[in-house]
Amino acid sequence: MRSAALYMGRAAAVRAFTKGKTDAAKAKNNGRFAKKIIIACKAGGIDPTTNKLLAQVIADAKVANVPKDVITRNIEKASQSAAQDYKESVFEFYGHGGVGFIVNVLTDNDNRAASDVNLVAKKQLLKPAAMNSVRFKFNTKARIDITTTIDEDSLMELCLENDIDDYELRSEVDGCILSPSEEGACSVYVDLKDMATLRDALRAKNLQVVTRLVSVPMEGFVSVNDEDFDSNVAAIDAFEALDDVDTVEHNIDMR
Protein backbone atom coordinates (compact mmCIF):
# COMPACT_ATOMS: atom_id res chain seq x y z
CA MET A 1 0.00 0.00 0.00
CA ARG A 2 2.84 2.38 0.80
CA SER A 3 4.37 2.11 -2.68
CA ALA A 4 0.95 2.64 -4.30
CA ALA A 5 0.39 5.74 -2.18
CA LEU A 6 3.76 7.11 -3.18
CA TYR A 7 2.99 6.49 -6.84
CA MET A 8 -0.38 8.24 -6.54
CA GLY A 9 1.36 11.16 -4.81
CA ARG A 10 3.91 11.48 -7.60
CA ALA A 11 1.20 11.22 -10.28
CA ALA A 12 -0.81 13.95 -8.57
CA ALA A 13 2.29 16.13 -8.31
CA VAL A 14 3.01 15.68 -12.02
CA ARG A 15 -0.58 16.61 -12.92
CA ALA A 16 -0.41 19.68 -10.71
CA PHE A 17 2.97 20.65 -12.14
CA THR A 18 1.75 20.26 -15.71
CA LYS A 19 -1.33 22.37 -15.03
CA GLY A 20 0.80 24.92 -13.20
CA LYS A 21 3.13 25.19 -16.16
CA THR A 22 0.15 25.75 -18.45
CA ASP A 23 -1.29 28.47 -16.22
CA ALA A 24 2.11 30.12 -15.78
CA ALA A 25 2.77 30.02 -19.52
CA LYS A 26 -0.52 31.76 -20.22
CA ALA A 27 0.22 34.40 -17.59
CA LYS A 28 3.67 35.19 -19.04
CA ASN A 29 2.61 34.85 -22.66
CA ASN A 30 2.06 38.50 -23.52
CA GLY A 31 5.29 39.66 -21.91
CA ARG A 32 7.35 36.96 -23.62
CA PHE A 33 6.06 37.80 -27.08
CA ALA A 34 6.35 41.54 -26.42
CA LYS A 35 10.09 41.06 -25.90
CA LYS A 36 10.44 38.80 -28.94
CA ILE A 37 8.61 41.37 -31.11
CA ILE A 38 10.97 44.12 -29.99
CA ILE A 39 14.03 41.92 -30.64
CA ALA A 40 12.75 41.06 -34.14
CA CYS A 41 12.01 44.71 -34.95
CA LYS A 42 15.42 45.84 -33.77
CA ALA A 43 17.06 43.18 -35.93
CA GLY A 44 15.19 43.75 -39.19
CA GLY A 45 12.76 46.66 -39.00
CA ILE A 46 9.09 47.04 -38.14
CA ASP A 47 7.60 45.93 -41.48
CA PRO A 48 6.66 42.22 -41.36
CA THR A 49 6.48 42.05 -45.15
CA THR A 50 10.25 42.57 -45.34
CA ASN A 51 11.22 41.27 -41.89
CA LYS A 52 10.63 37.50 -42.01
CA LEU A 53 11.62 37.04 -38.36
CA LEU A 54 9.03 39.59 -37.25
CA ALA A 55 6.39 37.98 -39.48
CA GLN A 56 7.06 34.61 -37.86
CA VAL A 57 6.92 36.05 -34.32
CA ILE A 58 3.63 37.82 -35.09
CA ALA A 59 2.15 34.61 -36.54
CA ASP A 60 3.23 32.64 -33.48
CA ALA A 61 1.89 35.34 -31.16
CA LYS A 62 -1.53 35.22 -32.79
CA VAL A 63 -1.71 31.45 -32.41
CA ALA A 64 -0.65 31.85 -28.77
CA ASN A 65 -3.62 34.19 -28.25
CA VAL A 66 -1.59 37.37 -27.76
CA PRO A 67 -4.03 40.31 -28.16
CA LYS A 68 -3.66 42.39 -31.32
CA ASP A 69 -3.09 45.59 -29.32
CA VAL A 70 -0.11 43.99 -27.53
CA ILE A 71 1.46 43.16 -30.91
CA THR A 72 0.79 46.62 -32.36
CA ARG A 73 1.91 48.47 -29.25
CA ASN A 74 5.25 46.69 -29.08
CA ILE A 75 5.98 47.16 -32.79
CA GLU A 76 5.42 50.89 -32.23
CA LYS A 77 7.54 50.74 -29.09
CA ALA A 78 10.41 49.11 -30.98
CA SER A 79 10.47 52.00 -33.46
CA GLN A 80 11.25 54.48 -30.69
CA SER A 81 14.87 55.25 -29.94
CA ALA A 82 14.28 54.85 -26.20
CA ALA A 83 13.01 51.26 -26.54
CA GLN A 84 14.86 48.70 -24.46
CA ASP A 85 17.38 46.38 -26.06
CA TYR A 86 16.52 42.84 -25.01
CA LYS A 87 19.18 40.18 -24.98
CA GLU A 88 19.07 36.41 -24.70
CA SER A 89 21.34 34.56 -22.30
CA VAL A 90 21.60 31.08 -20.81
CA PHE A 91 22.37 29.81 -17.29
CA GLU A 92 23.22 26.20 -16.47
CA PHE A 93 22.85 24.33 -13.18
CA TYR A 94 22.92 20.83 -11.74
CA GLY A 95 19.81 19.98 -9.75
CA HIS A 96 18.90 17.39 -7.15
CA GLY A 97 19.51 13.77 -8.12
CA GLY A 98 22.00 14.68 -10.86
CA VAL A 99 19.58 16.38 -13.26
CA GLY A 100 20.56 19.34 -15.44
CA PHE A 101 18.84 22.71 -15.78
CA ILE A 102 19.07 25.15 -18.69
CA VAL A 103 17.55 28.53 -17.78
CA ASN A 104 16.87 30.70 -20.83
CA VAL A 105 16.66 34.42 -20.13
CA LEU A 106 15.26 37.28 -22.19
CA THR A 107 16.15 40.57 -20.50
CA ASP A 108 16.91 44.27 -20.86
CA ASN A 109 19.16 44.17 -17.78
CA ASP A 110 21.85 41.47 -17.72
CA ASN A 111 23.02 42.26 -14.19
CA ARG A 112 19.52 42.07 -12.72
CA ALA A 113 18.73 38.83 -14.53
CA ALA A 114 22.00 37.17 -13.49
CA SER A 115 21.53 38.24 -9.87
CA ASP A 116 17.93 36.99 -9.73
CA VAL A 117 18.65 33.66 -11.44
CA ASN A 118 21.72 32.90 -9.31
CA LEU A 119 19.86 33.85 -6.12
CA VAL A 120 17.09 31.37 -6.96
CA ALA A 121 19.68 28.68 -7.69
CA LYS A 122 21.40 29.34 -4.35
CA LYS A 123 18.14 29.21 -2.38
CA GLN A 124 17.10 26.01 -4.14
CA LEU A 125 20.51 24.42 -3.43
CA LEU A 126 21.44 23.98 -7.08
CA LYS A 127 25.06 23.75 -8.22
CA PRO A 128 26.35 26.18 -10.87
CA ALA A 129 27.58 24.38 -13.98
CA ALA A 130 30.45 25.37 -16.24
CA MET A 131 29.40 26.93 -19.53
CA ASN A 132 28.05 24.30 -21.97
CA SER A 133 28.60 21.43 -19.51
CA VAL A 134 24.82 20.89 -19.27
CA ARG A 135 23.95 22.04 -22.79
CA PHE A 136 26.53 19.57 -24.13
CA LYS A 137 24.17 16.77 -23.05
CA PHE A 138 21.26 18.17 -25.07
CA ASN A 139 20.46 18.42 -28.78
CA THR A 140 18.78 21.54 -30.10
CA LYS A 141 15.59 20.70 -32.00
CA ALA A 142 12.79 22.68 -33.57
CA ARG A 143 9.51 22.19 -31.73
CA ILE A 144 6.28 22.88 -33.59
CA ASP A 145 3.24 22.99 -31.32
CA ILE A 146 -0.06 22.40 -33.11
CA THR A 147 -3.29 23.54 -31.45
CA THR A 148 -5.11 20.44 -32.73
CA THR A 149 -4.03 16.84 -33.17
CA ILE A 150 -2.57 15.33 -36.32
CA ASP A 151 -2.30 11.57 -36.84
CA GLU A 152 0.99 9.82 -37.54
CA ASP A 153 0.06 8.84 -41.11
CA SER A 154 -0.88 12.40 -42.10
CA LEU A 155 2.32 13.77 -40.60
CA MET A 156 4.43 11.11 -42.33
CA GLU A 157 2.83 11.91 -45.68
CA LEU A 158 3.44 15.62 -45.19
CA CYS A 159 7.07 15.04 -44.25
CA LEU A 160 7.65 12.74 -47.24
CA GLU A 161 6.19 15.37 -49.57
CA ASN A 162 8.69 17.90 -48.19
CA ASP A 163 11.77 15.63 -48.01
CA ILE A 164 11.79 15.60 -44.20
CA ASP A 165 13.00 12.22 -42.95
CA ASP A 166 13.70 12.94 -39.27
CA TYR A 167 10.66 13.86 -37.19
CA GLU A 168 8.90 12.88 -33.97
CA LEU A 169 5.23 13.34 -33.05
CA ARG A 170 4.05 13.61 -29.44
CA SER A 171 0.34 13.81 -28.65
CA GLU A 172 0.00 12.28 -25.19
CA VAL A 173 -0.17 14.55 -22.13
CA ASP A 174 2.10 12.61 -19.77
CA GLY A 175 3.99 15.32 -17.90
CA CYS A 176 7.13 14.97 -20.03
CA ILE A 177 8.64 18.34 -20.89
CA LEU A 178 8.64 17.35 -24.57
CA SER A 179 4.95 16.45 -24.65
CA PRO A 180 2.00 18.81 -25.14
CA SER A 181 0.67 20.31 -21.92
CA GLU A 182 -2.99 20.26 -22.95
CA GLU A 183 -5.32 17.60 -24.31
CA GLY A 184 -6.28 18.03 -27.96
CA ALA A 185 -2.90 19.45 -28.99
CA CYS A 186 0.33 17.87 -30.21
CA SER A 187 4.00 18.65 -30.69
CA VAL A 188 6.30 17.76 -33.59
CA TYR A 189 10.11 17.76 -33.43
CA VAL A 190 12.33 18.18 -36.48
CA ASP A 191 15.87 19.29 -37.31
CA LEU A 192 16.41 23.04 -37.35
CA LYS A 193 16.90 23.04 -41.13
CA ASP A 194 13.39 21.59 -41.60
CA MET A 195 11.50 23.88 -39.21
CA ALA A 196 10.38 26.54 -41.68
CA THR A 197 9.44 23.97 -44.35
CA LEU A 198 7.24 21.88 -42.04
CA ARG A 199 5.78 24.96 -40.33
CA ASP A 200 4.67 26.37 -43.68
CA ALA A 201 3.34 22.99 -44.83
CA LEU A 202 1.24 22.65 -41.67
CA ARG A 203 -0.10 26.18 -42.04
CA ALA A 204 -1.00 25.38 -45.65
CA LYS A 205 -3.25 22.67 -44.19
CA ASN A 206 -4.96 25.42 -42.11
CA LEU A 207 -3.36 24.19 -38.90
CA GLN A 208 -2.38 26.73 -36.25
CA VAL A 209 1.21 26.29 -35.07
CA VAL A 210 3.76 27.92 -32.79
CA THR A 211 7.47 27.29 -33.36
CA ARG A 212 10.43 27.48 -30.99
CA LEU A 213 13.83 25.91 -30.38
CA VAL A 214 14.15 23.45 -27.51
CA SER A 215 16.83 21.31 -25.89
CA VAL A 216 16.26 17.55 -26.03
CA PRO A 217 18.37 15.35 -23.68
CA MET A 218 20.55 13.02 -25.75
CA GLU A 219 20.78 10.36 -23.01
CA GLY A 220 17.09 10.44 -22.09
CA PHE A 221 15.47 11.63 -18.90
CA VAL A 222 16.71 11.09 -15.35
CA SER A 223 14.49 9.41 -12.74
CA VAL A 224 14.77 10.84 -9.22
CA ASN A 225 13.26 9.97 -5.85
CA ASP A 226 10.26 11.85 -4.47
CA GLU A 227 12.30 14.23 -2.32
CA ASP A 228 14.57 15.25 -5.20
CA PHE A 229 11.57 15.48 -7.52
CA ASP A 230 9.82 17.95 -5.19
CA SER A 231 12.99 20.00 -4.77
CA ASN A 232 13.54 20.20 -8.54
CA VAL A 233 9.93 21.20 -9.19
CA ALA A 234 10.26 23.95 -6.57
CA ALA A 235 13.36 25.22 -8.37
CA ILE A 236 11.58 25.26 -11.75
CA ASP A 237 8.64 27.15 -10.25
CA ALA A 238 10.99 29.70 -8.67
CA PHE A 239 12.88 30.27 -11.94
CA GLU A 240 9.69 30.63 -13.97
CA ALA A 241 8.34 33.20 -11.49
CA LEU A 242 11.14 35.59 -12.57
CA ASP A 243 10.08 38.12 -15.21
CA ASP A 244 13.38 37.80 -17.08
CA VAL A 245 13.18 34.01 -17.42
CA ASP A 246 11.75 32.84 -20.74
CA THR A 247 11.89 29.05 -20.37
CA VAL A 248 13.43 26.41 -18.10
CA GLU A 249 14.59 23.19 -19.74
CA HIS A 250 15.70 20.05 -17.92
CA ASN A 251 16.10 16.28 -18.17
CA ILE A 252 13.86 15.22 -15.26
CA ASP A 253 11.64 12.23 -15.95
CA MET A 254 8.19 13.72 -15.27
CA ARG A 255 6.16 10.83 -16.62
Q: Of 23, 43, 78, which closes a domain?
A: 78
Q: What is the residue range of 11's domain?
A: 2-78
Q: Is residue 10 located within the same domain as residue 125?
A: no
Q: Pick from 155, 177, 157: which is nearest to 168 by CA?
A: 155
Same domain, 138 and 56: no
Residues 63 and 106 in one domain: no
SS (H, E, C) 160-226: HHCCCCCEEEECCCCCCCCCCCCCCCEEEEECHHHHHHHHHHHHHCCCCEEEEEEEEECCCCECCCH
- 165 and 224 assigned to the same domain: yes
On whether both 109 and 133 belong to a single domain, the answer is yes
In this predicted structure, the answer to whether residue 234 has a pLDDT above a threshold of 90 is yes
Mean pLDDT computed over 164-175: 93
83 or 39: whose pLDDT is higher?
Answer: 39
Contacts of 11 (CB under 8 A, 6+ apart): none
Residues 130 and 64 in one domain: no
Look at residues 247, 244, 242, 255 and name the one whose alpha carbon lies nearest to residue 101. 247
pLDDT, mean of residues 144-167: 95
Q: Which of 78, 95, 129 is the endpoint of a domain? A: 78
> 12 and 98 share a domain?
no
Residues 209 and 149 both lie in one domain: yes
- Amino acid in position 177: I
Taking 90 as the threshold, does the pLDDT of residue 112 lie above it?
A: yes
- Residue with the bigger pLDDT between 145 and 5: it is 145
Domain CATH code at residue 15: 1.10.10.200
pLDDT tens per residue across span 18-57: 555 555 566 577 888 889 999 999 889 999 999 999 998 9
pLDDT recorded at residue 207: 94
Choosing from 78, 102, 132, the residue where a domain stops is 78
pLDDT band of 16, cuts 50, 70, 90: low
Q: Which long-range contacts (CB under 8 A, 24 or more apart) does 180-187 make?
A: 180/145, 181/18, 181/21, 181/22, 181/25, 182/22, 184/147, 184/148, 184/149, 185/145, 185/146, 185/147, 185/148, 185/149, 186/145, 186/146, 186/148, 186/149, 186/150, 187/143, 187/144, 187/145, 187/146
Residues 142, 240, 12, 224, CA torsion sign = positive
Check pLDDT > 70 for residue 121: yes
Q: Could you tell me what percent of the chain has a pLDDT over 90?
A: 68
Closest CA to 66 of 101, 28, 10, 97: 28
**29 plus 128 within the same structural domain:** no
Same domain, residue pair 37 and 121: no
**Is 80 exceeded by the pLDDT of residue 98?**
yes
Cα separations in angstroms, 91 against 41, 47, 61, 115? 25, 33, 25, 11
Q: How confident is the model at residue 1 (pLDDT cuts 50, 70, 90)?
A: very low
Q: Quick one: 44 and 170 in the same domain?
A: no
> In the chain, where does DSSP find H-type helix?
2-44, 52-63, 68-78, 110-123, 152-161, 195-204, 226-240
Residue-averaged pLDDT of the chain: 88
Answer for the pair 139, 219: CB distance below 8 angstroms, yes or no. no
> Is 87's pLDDT higher than 70?
yes
Band (pLDDT 50/70/90 cuts) for residue 65 is confident
Mean pLDDT of 104-132: 96
Q: How many domains does the chain have?
A: 2
Q: For the residues 197-215, what does the mean pLDDT come to?
A: 93
User: Do 74 and 133 have their domain in common?
Assistant: no
98-106: average pLDDT: 96
Q: What is the mean pLDDT of residues 149-162?
A: 95
Residue 163 gets the label, from left (phi > 0), alpha (psi -120 to 50) or beta, of: left
| pLDDT, mean of residues 222-245 | 94
